[in-house]
Structure 1
């Protein structure tokens, strides 16, 4: 049972896959963002991995309020759910980029910082929701 996670941004969207049984995730790819999102690429990932659901990183400011990107992220999550008929879960993404730097490696096979951040987001969600996944 796999889950796909997304670190959504206007310029880039990091994508990771993970298994709740092991609680681990790995970055797959960093996609070019934009409006609309790169649905053909996302469609292909969903077809390949057949996830049970999606986890989308939810950014908050230090005071707990949503960031200005919040409405676009909610719209992306709603579109994922409508398009694929799978549940979308939200996970706090604070510090995900910082933690993702530790996973980055130089080289052509590295999926990119945003993909590593998506993996951190997914692993955090697994930890917080071990009984649900």
Structure 2
């Protein structure tokens, strides 16, 4: 079943966020905050597997977020697929490596929407869409 955080489960102290749209070879990144409820794309990480972790660490040191958001993909009918497991594993590893709250968001159609917008970097645009969807759900 798709994961969407209960907005009441996100503490008020969580004001700044970094979001990730995880793929096998690229990971889209966006930053945003609760006050403006907007997100800004950041350069996409072009690395596979464990090679992406040093780049993630640099982003987190630079932006000092209060929490992280990971897009979790599903088929249109809500069924899981191979990339669902990839995204959930990434979210678990983020929690373990960085000790920050990690919120998973159903990201169906974010890449399709990013392409429809004509985004030059669809991965970063998808991360923005995921983060803005999350921010709009907060009280």
Normalising by the smaller structure, the TM-score range is 0.7 to 0.9
Is the partner of 2:50 in helix, strand or coil? coil
CA distance in 2, matches of 1:37, 1:5: 18
1:122 is aligned, of 125, 131, 136, to 131
Number of matched residues? 124
Unaligned runs of 5+ in 1: 106-111
CA contact (8 A) 2:76 2:108 kept: no
Work out whether 1:92 is the aligned partner of 2:103: no
Unaligned ranges ≥5, structure 2: 1-14
Q: Normalising by structure 2, what TM-score? A: 0.83
Contact conserved, 1:23 with 1:123, CA < 8 A, in 2?
A: yes
Say which structure is richer in helix.
Answer: 2
RMSD (CA atoms): 1.3
Q: Shift of residue 36 of structure 1? A: 1.5
Q: State whether structure 2 residue 71 is matched by structure 1 residue 62.
A: no
Q: Which residue of structure 2 lines up, in the alignment, with residue 108 of structure 1?
A: none
